[in-house]
Amino acid sequence: MRNRGYVLSAGISEATLIATYVVIAWGEGTATLGMLLRNPWFVLTQAPFAARKARLLIDRLPARFEQEGMRGSLAMIDLGEGRLLVHQRKK
């Protein structure tokens, strides 16, 4: 039972990571020049690739959730995928 809890926690964490990457890809929120200058690592290594990282997780997680019997969490992935597709069409 304990192992099942770890699997569930890991799955929910990865689904939350999808949502985080989608928000980064959308560029939601405002960033001042000072914020960008204080966080060059993020600006150069994370933000430009957020959509790609979200897509990788979206493609990988559904099969894993099905395998682990976590079908109820698939909606989180679908929501992230929908938001990512809207963002990609706006570009």
**Total of domains in the chain:** 1
pLDDT at 40: 86
Q: Name the residue with higher pLDDT: 29 or 59.
A: 59
Domain of residue 49 covers 2-90
Statement: the pTM of the whole predicted model exceeds 0.85? no
Angle at 14 between CA 11 and CA 37, to 5 degrees: 160
State the sign of the Cα–Cα–Cα–Cα dihedral 70, 72, 75, 76: negative
pLDDT tens figures, 42-64: 888 888 899 999 999 999 989 88
Which residue reads 């992230």 in tokens?
80
